[in-house]
Amino acid sequence: MKALRTSSPLLPFAMLVLTLVLAALDQTILSTALPVISRELPGAWPLAWVFSAYLLAATVVIALYGRLADVLGKKPMLLLAIGLFLAGSLACGASQDVQQLVLARTLQGAGGGGLMTLAMLTVPDLFAPEQRGRYQALLGAAYGVSTMFGPLIGGALVEHLSWHWAFWMNVPPAALAWGVLASTLPSKSSAAQPPATQERQRMSIDWLGAALLTAALVLLLLATQQGQLNLPERVSLWLLLALGAMFTLAFVWRQKRVAHPLLPLSLFARPAYAAVSFIGTATGVALYAAVVFLPQYLQIGLHLSPTGSAWHLLPLMAGITLAAVTSGKLLRAQRPAASIARAACMLMLLSFGLMAGVLHWLPARPLALSAALLPLGLGLGLLFPIVTVVAQRVSPAQHMGIATAAPVMLRSLGGAAGVALLAALLAHLMKRELAAPGALSRGAAADAVAAALAHGLQSVFGCAAAAVLLALVATNWLVQKQPREGLAKNGLLKATP
């Protein structure tokens, strides 16, 4: 479809924001709708698969979308992702049992996994280099707001309509975004290339590497969810980890030897790219440590409702939104990315320290915990645009898609793996404390469980802080002695003498 001429890129950018909002909402909107779904839908499959199917599909397609965008173009891949997401949303709302819902969520995730990456990847086609930081920051702010509002919107839809509308609400805006982007988004030069060149590009896609990466990610993500999915007894955690490691090694071996790798390992030889990739992983650990475990404490330990606990995450949302916009302005003003990233990591360390302190000295004060989330939101908001913009700036143009996708994939993996490991640590610490002689006899069982949960979360947040501390160390590699052309000009990397 031929793109219409528009006087401003703001209309297609608004549609990119809309698609990103929809994808972010669907990661959290079911947290308050799932109890109703469990009562109304029959089926023998564990309900946890409704979450895990989306996570698995969305994560495994990220790298493939990035590579296909490099070879076939960003616009067709973005339209494909929106189409799959729209079809999956329709199928989810029409599901008659849990099995159908899980399969529909897989289709929805196959589309949703490409929306965030492709939205960020399309920004350079719409805006000049000096403006991209600002608009990448707005995408980060939209993502943060949507993730936090998901539980509230899900609760309202279930209460006033039905759980079906948690999925069907996506259809009109997704259809609108598809139509507007198909008409207004510029198409790149692949159509102008000779047919032989286009065919060589298509043949350059490493499908075997994609299959190996998919197998590795599925196995490793299943390992992170193994305790919730009621897998057969013979499918043990260690088996999943061993197979996942085997496929990961096979993928790395393949990428070193194939002429056109799916994920060029040479990207990670660039210090700044390796640094932002690790920082992206750490932000996944930090974000999910807060949004998964803190609501558990508020609901189990302090007996708040799911909606009430969601409201206490608003400072995190506000911090992400405000800081993401601020980060874009700082990048546009040519402030060094390394300095901004260090400040962000310090804010996140402060937040985890405050949360641990509140749980130790003021465990019954939910407002104190809520306030302690604000520095974490500010730190995450500052880092989100930096990871994307620096990854794009230090990567070759021919690898722009996969270079943008890899940190997003690593953030998802960091969140999933981090939550699984931290949940295992929390369960171990609580079990040990409650098993101590007289632990349950000193008072009510509920109070003992709340106290054990508060004590265990102090260690959980300490581990999350350790991940952030490593990210702080990684910011040293954001400063390069000989920045490539365009980096110093845009203030993304600061040259040293």
Which residue carries 């298509």 as its tokens? 202
C-alpha–C-alpha distance, residues 235 and 276, integer Å: 34
Least confident span in 63-67, 80-84, 338-342, 435-439: 435-439
How much is the pLDDT for 148? Answer: 67
What percentage of the chain carries pLDDT values higher than 70?
84
Q: What is the mean pLDDT of residues 87-95?
A: 89
How much is the pLDDT for 1? Answer: 46
- The per-residue b/e assignment along 32-49, b for 16 or more CB within 10 angstroms, e otherwise, is bbbebbeeebebebebeb
Cβ 415 vs Cβ 285: under 8 Å: yes
Least confident span in 81-95, 186-200, 207-221, 411-425: 186-200
Indicate if the pLDDT at residue 276 is higher than 80.
Answer: yes
- Sign of the Cα torsion 404, 410, 413, 414 reads negative
How much is the pLDDT for 47? Answer: 67
What percentage of the chain carries pLDDT values higher than 90?
19
**What's the half-sphere exposure (Cβ side, CA atoms, 13 Å) at 326?**
17
Indicate if the pLDDT at residue 2 is higher than 70.
Answer: no
For residue 370, the tally of other CB atoms under 10 A from its CB is 19
The pTM is what? 0.78
DSSP letters along 296-357, please? HIIIIIS---HHHHHHTTHHHHHHHHHHHHHHHHHHHTT--HHHHHHHHHHHHHHHHHHHHH
How much is the pLDDT for 84? Answer: 93
How much is the pLDDT for 167? Answer: 84
C-alpha–C-alpha distance, residues 43 and 38, integer Å: 9
pLDDT tens digits along 134-193: 777 777 777 767 776 776 777 677 767 777 888 888 889 999 999 988 888 877 644 444
Greater model confidence, 251 or 447: 251
Q: Which two tokens stand for residue 149?
A: 């509002």
> In this structure, which amino acid lies at residue 356?
A
Indicate if the pLDDT at residue 201 is higher than 70.
Answer: no
pLDDT tens digits along 109-134: 888 888 878 887 888 788 777 777 77
- What confidence category does residue 476 fall into, taking pLDDT thresholds of 50, 70 and 90? very high
Cβ 59 vs Cβ 409: under 8 Å: yes
How much is the pLDDT for 491? Answer: 43
C-alpha–C-alpha distance, residues 458 and 452, integer Å: 10
Average pLDDT, rounded, for the chain: 80
Indicate if the pLDDT at residue 306 is higher than 70.
Answer: no
Q: What is the mean pLDDT of residues 416-430?
A: 81
Greater model confidence, 40 or 6: 40
pLDDT tens digits along 237-271: 788 888 888 988 998 898 888 877 878 888 888 89
- The crossing angle, in degrees rounded to 10, of helices 62-72 and 400-434 is 180
> In this structure, which amino acid lies at residue 249?
L
- The per-residue b/e assignment along 77-102, b for 16 or more CB within 10 angstroms, e otherwise, is bbbbbbebbbbbbbbbbebeebebbb
Measured in whole angstroms, the distance separating CA 451 from the mean position of its chain's CA atoms is 31
C-alpha–C-alpha distance, residues 497 and 483, integer Å: 11
Structural domains of the chain, ranges and CATH numbers in brackets = 8-186+196-205 (1.20.1250.20), 261-482 (1.20.1250.20)
Considering only CA atoms, which of 218, 147, 222, 227 is closest in space to residue 423? Answer: 227
Cβ 221 vs Cβ 59: under 8 Å: yes
Q: What is the mean pLDDT of residues 216-231?
A: 72
Which 3 state secondary structure label does DSSP give 468? helix
Greater model confidence, 160 or 389: 389
How much is the pLDDT for 442? Answer: 53
Q: Which two tokens stand for residue 349?
A: 């360390």
Indicate if the pLDDT at residue 484 is higher than 60.
Answer: no
How much is the pLDDT for 191? Answer: 41
Q: What is the mean pLDDT of residues 381-393?
A: 86
Cβ 402 vs Cβ 263: under 8 Å: yes
- Integer Rg of the chain from CA: 22
Cβ 71 vs Cβ 201: under 8 Å: yes
How much is the pLDDT for 340? Answer: 93
